[in-house]
Amino acid sequence: MALIHRTTMTPTKLELIAGWLPTRAWYAGGADGPRPVKAGGFRLDDPEGEVGVEFMVVTDGEGPEAVAYLIPMTYRGKPLDGAGHALIGTSEHGVLGTRWIYDGAHDPVLVRELTALLAGRAVPQQQSVSDAVDETVAVAAVSGLRAAEPPAAVDGGEHTDVEVRAEGDAGALVLRLHRVLRPGAGEGALGGVTAEWVPAGAEGAAVRGTYVSVHRA
């Protein structure tokens, strides 16, 4: 169970994301630079209790030009070997001390738990409440999924593909993390995860769309 601490982070996650977004190929840009606002998401538990796993949605911009981005993140108490390229930044946590925050598409713990979620072996948790299932997250499961070690993540346009294995004759598959989110269901997927977020200026009215989909490689 992930314990949610009511404390400070310096710099905040949003401040780190604001500096990191412009380095991403899928960032749509803006005249005044990123001004991300938290808009939704969920968490997954690390069974070993060492790594925080969060899928955060942020919106950037205003009106019809605003974009919603999916930022999968992991929080670690020490650096992840070989993942310097995926480091979003470090932050001082009021309870846990220094935390290394990574783009979770490149972190084996997030990929393992996301694969478990898609295979029906894990349960989504609320972002801000300890030990609370997030009933708004829907999973179209794909049986037999197994994470590859280490994860191989490749950015392509508005998404990041992560290779996974499947039992039987399914062949090579990828988990597609939709970095730029749009309302509605995706097409042509074998399975996936859909969830909610609040668009910029929507005043609490949530929309729903695909966070992650599963495809043949």
Residue pair 198/205 in contact by the 8 Å Cβ criterion: yes
Each residue of 123-159: pLDDT tens digit? Answer: 999 998 888 999 999 999 998 898 887 788 998 889 9
Neighbours of 125 (CB within 10 A): 22
Nearest to 106 by CA among 76, 143, 136, 145: 76
**What digits encode the pLDDT tens for the residues 61-89?**
888 789 999 999 999 999 999 999 999 99
Residue 14 pLDDT more than 90? Answer: yes
pLDDT of residue 2: 62
Per residue in 160-198, pLDDT (tens digit) is 999 998 876 667 899 999 999 999 877 789 999 999 999
Is the predicted pLDDT of residue 34 greater than 80, yes or no?
Answer: yes
Res 183: pLDDT:
93
**Pick the residue with more confidence: 30 or 34?**
34
The per-residue pLDDT for range 79-133, each reduced to its tens digit, is 999 999 999 999 998 777 899 999 999 999 999 999 999 999 999 999 988 889 9
Calculate the alpha carbon distances from 148 to 116, 145, 162, 184 in Å: 12, 10, 9, 29
Q: Residue 62: left if φ>0, alpha if ψ -120 to 50, beta else—which one?
A: beta
Name the DSSP letter for residue 78. Answer: S
With contact defined as beta carbons under 8 Å apart, do 157 and 201 qualify?
A: no
pLDDT at 207: 95
